[in-house]
Amino acid sequence: MALDAIAVKALAEELQCLVGGRIDKVHQPERDEIALHIRTYDENYKLVLSASSANPRIHLTERSKKNPAAAPMFCMLLRKHVGGGKITAVEQIGFERIVKISVEGYNELGDRTVKYIITEIMGKYSNMILVSEEGRIIDSIKRVDGSVSSVREVLPGGEYCPPPAQDKLPLTEFCSDSPLKLSGPVKADRALISAVAGISPLTARELVHGVFGTSDVNAGEINTNKAAELKLAVIRLAEKTRRNEFSPCIVKETNTGRMIEFSAVDIKQYGSLAEVRSCGSMNEAVDEFYYMRDMHDRMRQKSADVSKLLNNNIERVSKKLSILEKTVRDAENREKYKIRGDLITANIYRISEGMKEIEAENFYDPSCPVLKIPLDPSLSPSMNAQRYYKKYSKAKNALVEAAKQIEAAKADLEYLESTLYVVGRAETVADINAVKEEMAALGYISRRGSQAKKRGAEKSKPLHFVSSDGFDIYVGRNNTQNDRLTLKFANTSDMWFHTKDIHGSHVIIKLGIDKDVPKNTILEAARLAAYYSQARDSAQVPVDYTQIKNVKKPNGARPGMVIYEGYNTVYVTPGLPGGEEQE
């Protein structure tokens, strides 16, 4: 976790804007999260305090979460003790991941009181504690008794004691006279974490990387000069931290855009593997990081069931297709049954009841080879012939029926695979709900499992971009949207794009009055079609494009499935036009 003491110090410094403000509202949207609405003379703020084991934090936000109908007990307690109170101080306790908010108010008798909201950001030991002016615990969002911790209890009525201090030198006290032990079989970054309090593994690796060009360095192999360089890097970081000089940033994977970390110091250790984006403030970095990660987690949970259902259906259809193809291969040998029936009929006078086989010349073959034909001894000669004729007829009918089912199974498989791609690229819950509704309409899931038609459900809309030449470009998010864009939204002269033989979105250029589409706009639309397809990570992706009038939907075709003619093909590298989506 990169929310180390450096980041907490940066946050506490920025939160000085809350001093003098009054707590207008208190909400508890999550079991272990509080949202304080604070009103100052100049502005209104929303402060998030979280004691989540996975995502503990404190930061300002402009985003809102849905609150439960009935406020939890700790929320009611905060409303009673700090609601309407004035924030007189926001401070970091020591150089620890602890933030103390002092709130001045009045009790029932009109006497001035001071209460403290203490947020401890300690991983699985994170907590949020309301403390009286006398230092007594009023209550906490997580109660900790002796069965949970023998070192420190957090219970109402008890005296508040900070978590035990670590046997390390805080970064803010580190100077040229401070010892820095770099020896033994451990990595250099681990040695830094063991010696200096308040730095995260990410920051420690960055310090090592800044000196050695790599973070994979053994402490015991560092020579005297490099050890001095590393110590100097720590001293410089300590000086910047004391002066409140921070460089808030967010680190994302270059290929996937997945959030890796955030930091109060500039990060360079990932090189080309990650994109580092500077943020205007530490609050902005923390807010965006946890919002995006929370959205990713929620999307993963929401899409897990749909992905599992789609994969199960893909497996089922693939097996069915394999069986049907075997049936076709077997039916291709159907003529042998007719030949055997004809040969039995031609040689019926030679067959006696109880015979197990007969040898007859195959007059269908110019060389007339002798063919051994198995017989059922319990059947008469004519019934044996009829048995082979029935096998021939069955195989012939099976070939016709299997061919129809193969065509339907391939269409099903193509639809399921394209839908799985849509689920994998879904960016909002509305996208997942749209897929669920689509699958419910086709009978893959029950209507009760579909959420899209519930009252108040968020509607998924196509993506909208504007080309460098000013043309509107629309991109379908799912199969239903693809159909709507192509068959209802677009005019016959509008331009339609789709990756060639690759699952992806339908892309439309709305022409309006101007029917002359610049080449650059065509390339931008093609790059969008490639970007929103399974070939996003490829280069030189083939994209077909034509006018809408050349695109047709066959009767009974699955959502998103169309056929087209009179098209051109362009090869492009996937990308966004200017990287910006329009509202």
At 126 the pLDDT is 93
Domain membership of residue 154 (yes or no) is: no
* Same domain assignment for residues 104 and 180: no
Q: How far apart are CA 101 and CA 79, in angstroms?
A: 15
Taking CB atoms within 8 Å and a gap of at least 24, the contacts of 136-145 are: 136/160, 138/77, 138/81, 139/73, 139/74, 139/77, 140/74, 141/32, 141/34, 141/51, 141/74, 142/32, 142/51
Structure tokens at 341: 């029936």
* Same domain assignment for residues 253 and 306: no
Last residue of a domain, one of 247, 266, 287: 287
Q: Is pLDDT at 452 greater than 60 in this prediction?
A: no
Domain membership of residue 579 (yes or no) is: no
Contact in structure between 436 and 445 (CB atoms under 8 Å): yes
Q: How far apart are CA 224 and CA 347, in angstroms?
A: 103
Residues 298-337 pLDDT 10s: 677 777 878 888 888 889 889 988 988 888 877 777 778 8
* Same domain assignment for residues 281 and 303: no
Domain membership of residue 436 (yes or no) is: no
Residues 41-95 pLDDT 10s: 989 999 999 998 888 999 999 988 888 889 999 999 999 999 999 999 999 999 9
The number of residues in the chain equals 583
* Same domain assignment for residues 22 and 76: yes
Please give the residue range of the domain that contains residue 495.
463-572
Domain membership of residue 450 (yes or no) is: no
* Same domain assignment for residues 472 and 379: no
At 37 the pLDDT is 97
Q: How far apart are CA 220 and CA 227, in angstroms?
A: 10
Domain membership of residue 313 (yes or no) is: yes
* Same domain assignment for residues 246 and 334: no
Among 533, 536, 542, smallest CA distance to 568 is for: 542
Last residue of a domain, one of 266, 287, 308: 287
* Same domain assignment for residues 206 and 131: no
Last residue of a domain, one of 232, 267, 287: 287
DSSP 8-state class, residue 465: E
Q: Is pLDDT at 173 greater than 70 in this prediction?
A: yes
Domain membership of residue 70 (yes or no) is: yes
Structure tokens at 437: 């509704």
CA 245: distance to chain centroid?
A: 34
Cα-trace Rg, the chain: 35
Domain membership of residue 543 (yes or no) is: yes
* Same domain assignment for residues 278 and 306: no
% of the chain beyond a pLDDT of 70: 95
With b for 16 or more beta-carbon neighbours within 10 A and e for fewer, the 37-54 pattern comes to ebeeeeeebbbbbbbbee
Instruction: Look at 275-289, 416-430, 491-505 and tell me which has the smallest mean pLDDT.
Output: 416-430
Contact in structure between 85 and 22 (CB atoms under 8 Å): yes
* Same domain assignment for residues 399 and 510: no
Residue type, 171: L
- What are the residues whose beta carbons fall under 8 Å from the beta carbon of 3, sequence distance 6 or more? 56, 57, 97, 121, 200, 262, 286
Domain count, the chain: 4
Q: How far apart are CA 52 and CA 121, in angstroms?
A: 9
DSSP 8-state class, residue 548: G
* Same domain assignment for residues 423 and 310: yes
At 579 the pLDDT is 44
DSSP 8-state class, residue 435: H
C-alpha distance from residue 525 to each of 113, 462, 478 (Å) = 63, 14, 17
What CATH number does the domain containing 46 carry?
2.30.310.10
At 578 the pLDDT is 60
User: Which helix (H) or strand (E) segment is 544 a member of?
Assistant: strand 541-547
Q: Is pLDDT at 145 greater than 50 in this prediction?
A: yes
Q: Where are the beta strands (DSSP E) in 54-126?
A: 57-60, 86-92, 98-106, 112-120
CA 236: distance to chain centroid?
A: 38
Domain membership of residue 455 (yes or no) is: no
DSSP 8-state class, residue 504: B
Residue type, 168: K
* Same domain assignment for residues 400 and 525: no
* Same domain assignment for residues 383 and 476: no
Among 84, 29, 88, smallest CA distance to 61 is for: 29
